[in-house]
Homo-oligomer: A and B are copies of this chain.
Amino acid sequence: MNERAVCTISLINEAKVTAVKNATPEEETLFRLAETFRVLGDPTRVRILHALSLEELCVCDIASLLGTTKSAVSHQLRLLRSLRVVKYRKDGRIVYYSLDDSHVGNLLREGLSHISSQGVSP
């Protein structure tokens, strides 16, 4: 009874679990890892980031490229900025965005190679 008690009693392989637990990074680290992937895990943002991996672009040009509004792009850029994924410079009233970190480009590349290795959808 009370089966949903977090499965504490019924450990199948305690040794393995303990070993994995000891080799697991801090909660905080894995949380930030998830956060990093989450920010890449949206079609709009991934398109923005892929574009910025090719070229520094202003908000209006990004919006035009994606076929969406400046507002939507600006909201996403704010998120990306707050997580230090993109940086910007102002030139008059125009704001140019670019990737803040080479790791993001690497992740995009690694992700794309994962995609292409998967072949066509099942």
Contact = CB atoms under 8 A, between A and B. Distances in A.
B30 A34 contact: no
Most B-side CB within 10 Å, residue of A33, A35, A94, A117: A33
A58 B12 contact: yes
A90 interface: no
Interface residues of A, number: 67
This protein's copies in its complex: 2
| A-side interface mostly | helix
A63 B110 contact: no
A20 B50 CA distance: 9
A67 B27 CA distance: 12
A37 B38 CA distance: 6
Contacts of A79: none
Nearest to A40: B37
A19 interface: yes
